[in-house]
Structure 1
Amino acid sequence: MNPLLFPVVIAAALILLVAVRYGLRRRRHQEMQRLLDSADALEARLRAARRQIEAVTGESDADPVHEAMREMLRQRLWLREQGAQARVAELHSVRLSIDQARERIERQLERVEEAQMLEV
């Protein structure tokens, strides 16, 4: 190898390393933002669901949303404690579980609305 090329190869390797690290950080940041957005959307939907159910049942004691809210709190605590070290795949997995929970809530609320319509 030509001795004059050695610094060029080292510089190219360093540039590549920096680019890869930047890309990973960027992906991680994007996934973290998606995760936080999903968590916020689920929390807002759970609060709305609680209000809808209370409006239908007239009860504030019976809270079928309670367990979902507790799970949301557990996920937010995990994110605060582990989020900085979590791999992109872990963040993605947590986000998917949050999105699935929101979909389950939506299906349950559709059933509530259908039941309301049948009562009318």
Structure 2
Amino acid sequence: MNAYLTLGSVALFLALVAAVAVALWYRRRNDRRTHSLHQLLELADCLEGDLKTCRAGLQQAHAVMSLNPDLPAASEQEARHAIEAGLRSLLQQRIWIRDQAPRASQDQLDRAVSNMIETRSRLGPLLKALDQAQHALDDAMREHIIQRGPEA
């Protein structure tokens, strides 16, 4: 009788260990999905901010350049279209997040996060260059004003 009781206790213990292991696996999986979804949403917000910063900087630069016909004109229309295309692409990504992400595999979520990180990393140097160009343009405009004098 004691052998059956001990065997039953061991089997019950093993069943409990297996149940705990499965519960921990599901919890870890769920936590990872939740983290990926939050990361996707946060990255989308950051990317939108980057694109809007870029758009504002380009608008400001084009406004300054339009005041001085001596400065080389850049293609304002092309720049505007590029930014708008980026914002449209981001909107499509947000729609995917809303509609597909809850049912997406972890691999799909990981790829979406990776793509968003890659996009932001490619946009980063462009934003930095735009900021530097804006400073150079501001300096050039100040120099131009000083050369022409206050009466111009």
Please indicate, yes or no, whether the TM-score normalized by the shorter chain is above 0.5.
Answer: yes
What TM-score comes out, normalization by structure 1 length? 0.85
Matches within 5 A, 1:21-36: 21-36=26-41
Which of 104, 107, 110 pairs up with 2:125? 107
C-alpha RMSD of matched pairs (Å): 2.2
Instruction: Number of aligned residue pairs: give it.
Output: 119
Partners of 1:39 and 1:95 within 8 A in 2: no
Q: Which moved more, 1:8-17 or 1:103-112?
A: 103-112
Runs of 4+ in 1 over 4 A off after TM superposition: none
Cα distance in structure 2, aligned partners of 1:90 and 1:32: 11
Cα distance in structure 2, aligned partners of 1:28 and 1:96: 14
Structure 1 residue runs of 5 or longer lacking an equivalent are none
| Fraction of identical pairs, as percent | 22
Q: Which moved more, 1:95-104 or 1:11-20?
A: 95-104
> How far has the Cα of 1:114 moved from its partner?
4.3
Structure with larger Rg: 2
What TM-score comes out, normalization by structure 2 length? 0.69
Which of 11, 36, 39 pairs up with 2:44? 39
Structure ranking higher in helix proportion: 2
Report whether the alignment pairs 1:91 with 2:131.
no
Q: 1:4 to 1:110 in 2, by over 3 A?
A: closer
Which of 90, 94, 100 pairs up with 1:76? 94
